[in-house]
Amino acid sequence: MSEARPSIAPAHACIVAGTHSGCGKTTITLGLMAALSRRGHVVQPYKAGPDFIDPGHHTAATGRPSINLDGWMCGPQGVRVAFARGLHASGARPWPHDLFSRPSDGNAPPASHTTWEHIWTALGHPPGNPAPLLRHEGGTVMVATHAAPACGVPSLANPPSAHGHTVPDIAIIEGVMGLHDGASATTCTGSTAELALLLDLPVVLVIRARGMARSAAAMAMGYAALEPGLRIAGVICNEVGGPGHREMLRDALAHHCPAMPLLGMVPRDASLGTPSRHLGLALAGERDETTFLAGLADTIEQHVDIDALLKAITPVAPVRMDSAIPQACPPVAAPAAPSHMMSGDPLRHVSGTPHLAAPGTTITDVAETPDAAGPSETSATAAPAPAAGPPVIAVVSRVPVAVARDEAFSFLYAENLALLFAAGMDVRFFSPLADTSLPEGVRGVLLPGGYPELHAKRLAANHAMRTALRDFAATGQPVHGECGGYMYLMDMLETSEGSFPMSGCLPLRCRMDARLRALGYREATLLDDAAFGSAGTTLRGHEYHYSHLVDAPAAHTGLTPLWQVRDRRGRDMGTEGWCCRAITGSYIHLHLASNLSAAHAFVAACA
């Protein structure tokens, strides 16, 4: 009989939400993360929605990869699993910080660990920053000392868990848009409020109080009352003026909202803002992040009662990673899907054949019995028990895959890396900007999104790498690029500064525009067999870009459309992306938790 796995120690958790976009919730979130980390807490960051940029800043502030929690792409059970995995630093359900293993002696790690060189950088730290290392002692992965603190403050002194890892004691989720903004004008679907209800977490509400006094109380009351069951743990007012303004806000909130304590009043300070560009905030590493975060932590310590905040937020109930996580609310609304695609529950699709997990089973149970019967998919009342995590695969030898990672390519979902690792992938990071060849012996290439247009001249000047990628693609091994990576696979990238040759793996040209070309969630179904699965395999993701294809490919190029695409409401959007042999490219940022078979299919295609 196998030994029972330990429970996760309770952690305090909350969601930092704003009244609207631009109210300062990212600034407040980063400040809280940095201040709590400096106090010695182990803070696990999360981001609601599909955004890549905020998580990079979270990682710079906490030293831990930030996990995206997205109900539409991953389903409610996928959100719970990702949230629980972030609080679970070690055990049978590995999540990336179990994989940050680089032996101090430089020798290859044990077979149970992948060679994830510089993975900390890959999940948010700017290249060149010291990464916390793990060392192997007697088969156990132990935490080594930080070479340098994440944000210019004393290194964390948290004791390692029983498995040698530091376990988070605080989880902070940054919301998206306003607290109640989502996919619907009449329900909480797709909103930060829905996420709070799904995870049963309290909300810290950020109000941009500039130009208001008593009205701040009215806003707090309205935001708390709109959605039944929502818990507002407290309010932080941002962009507060002088002593008179502070007194008015304090009195108004104390009188009208006694159940929602005023946790802090952050003054107006232009230096606290985060710069932005066409895809959102600037990336971590594009400024002096150490100085910025240290200053932000100072501001939060001075103007927010962190002790009161910690008392106001509640501990997360202990979660056993080998047990099913209970369903808390109905799945988010999703368009009708083909029979091979789940509806609201991506984690039950763990192999090429869809099936439901019977109540009380785990994902491992299902993976080992693919024909197990569960509740009918047409049942209106029976809800499948969510799984505890991706299947645990007995990996005999890992499949090395090159993953682009540098200033031009940095948009990676942490959960995707965890799922690919669970499927047997050995990640070998490389830089299309700086390296002259692919890592030796790789069997596939992944090119994530990013900002190739900002580095087009350097990418074009690296003839050796462009040739190396093109030569590898000619071998017939899988090569996939999404969004920015897709652009790098093309012949040419046109910007306002001129035309720049890319790798030439796909006979396409793209051009940067001043206006947004596409934005929204996507459900994509493979039109033919490809690395991510057989024809008919469906995944979900997000599309957000300013470039467009200059011309449709000519018939003689041999390109075929990759995806048949629908938006989140189920409306047909035609085809998207292109395929040439084993080379695939698309503007869609896939989330592999939307269909767990995709990670296994990709690794199998590379093997």
Instruction: Please state the φ and ψ torsions of residue 297, each to the nearest 5 degrees.
Output: -60, -40
Q: Classify 576 as helix, strand or coil.
A: strand
Helix, strand, coil distribution of the chain in percent, nearest 5:
30, 25, 50
Give the pairing type, strands 538-545 and 43-48.
Answer: unpaired
Structure tokens at 139: 């088969």
CB-CB contact of 435 with 476 (8 Å): no
Question: Residue 526 is encoded by which pair of tokens?
Answer: 């493979």
Q: Looking at 74, 483, 579, 580, which residue is catalytic?
A: 483
Alpha helices in 174-285 (DSSP H): 192-199, 214-225, 243-256
Q: Which residue has the tokens 């050995």?
A: 426
Assess contact for 125 and 147: CB atoms under 8 A: no
Alpha-carbon distance of 195 to 174, in angstroms, equals 11
CA distance 99 to 319: 21
Q: Give the strands of the sheet with 538-545, arranged side by side.
A: 425-430, 399-404, 445-447, 479-482, 583-586, 572-580, 560-567, 518-526, 538-545, 588-591
Note if 580 is an active site residue.
no
Q: What are phi and psi of 275, to 5 degrees?
A: -65, 160
Q: How many whole angstroms separate alpha carbon 508 and alpha carbon 549?
A: 7
**Of the candidates 519, 454, 484, 483, which has an alpha carbon nearest to the alpha carbon of residue 49?**
519
Q: Which amino acid is at 536?
A: G
Q: What is the DSSP string of 333-375?
A: P-----TTS-SS-GGG--SSS--PPPTT--HHHHHH-TT---S
Q: What are phi and psi of 442, to 5 degrees?
A: -70, 155
Kindly list the catalytic residues: 483
